[in-house]
Amino acid sequence: MFPFPPIALLAATAAGQVAHCEPMRLNDLGHLLQVMGTFLGLSLFSLGGGNTLLSEYHQISVDQFCWLTSTQFADLYALAEAAPGPSSMLVGLLGMGAGWPEGPGWALLSAYGAELAILLPSTLLMVVACLRWNRLRDSTWRIAFERGLGPITLGILFAVGLKILHTADTNTPGLIVSLLVCVLMLRTRISPLWFMAVAGVLGGLGVINR
């Protein structure tokens, strides 16, 4: 055991990769509350529709708490994108991964807890914003907020895109598919489900692997 955990962590990061870190076990309510607390704190930082948080989710669930491997994270992200409903429900899947070692019951509990935690603060703020919108609309604070945070959101989204690409970590045909999908997403209105279906078949045939 390292006497000073921060130093141990630094050493591990300096070595390039945290090869195997000890997953934080969710075997009591206290830890579950810690999971929820983490997501509660992030909720209000989900600018630009929530996807800006993806890097942070990866950091938390893979590097910090070791709930998931990087590959699993990529899988869950794809799953959340493919399933109907807002893709921000990914948080529920991350929570499920956190609770999985304790059995499906805990997994479900922590899934619901995590999703609730990420949605609650932004929802409450949204309710207040709706009720006060008439006064807020012309406030200089709102205009500065909207115009100032736009470019930052842009930068974050690019960083997030690269991060996911890096996490996916597929072979060259996979990378070509990723870039092709990116272009098609921007140039056409084809449903992304088609891209995922075709790529899934390519993966099944062994063309894309990791």
Partner 1 sequence: MGMLQVALSAFGGGLSAWSQRIVVEERCWMSNEEFLTGLTVARLFPGPNQINMAVYVGTFFHGLRGALVALAGMLLLPFTLLMVLGLAYFSFHTLPAIDRVLAGVVAAAAGMALSMGFKILGQYRRDPVALLLAAATLVAMEGFHVRLVPLVLVAGPLAMAWYWPRAEASRLPKP
Restricting to residues 50-109, which ones interact with partner 1 according to CB under 8 A? 50-56, 59, 72, 74-89, 92-93, 96-97, 100, 104, 107-108
- # of chain residues touching partner 1 (CB under 8 A): 110
- Give the other-Cβ count within 10 Å of 84's Cβ: 6
Among candidate residues 195, 40, 201, the one with its CA nearest the CA of residue 113? 40
| Nearest-approach distance from CB 1 to partner 1, in angstroms | 26
Give the list of residues 6+ apart from residue 88 with CB closer than 8 angstroms, or none.
Answer: 46, 50, 51, 80, 118, 119
Q: Which is nearer to partner 1, 7 or 132 (CB)?
A: 132
Whether the CB-CB separation of 92 and 114 falls below 8 Å is answered with yes
What is the footprint of partner 1 within residues 1-40 (CB under 8 A)?
none
What is the footprint of partner 1 within residues 130-159 (CB under 8 A)?
130-131, 133, 140, 142-159
| Nearest-approach distance from CB 98 to partner 1, in angstroms | 11
Rounded to whole angstroms, the Cα distance separating 13 from 21 reads: 11
Token couple for 204: 């099944």
Dihedral sign for Cα atoms in the order 118, 121, 127, 131: negative
Q: Which is nearer to partner 1, 27 or 123 (CB)?
A: 123
| Nearest-approach distance from CB 201 to partner 1, in angstroms | 7
Interface with partner 1 (CB under 8 A), residue from 7, 11, 18, 129: 129
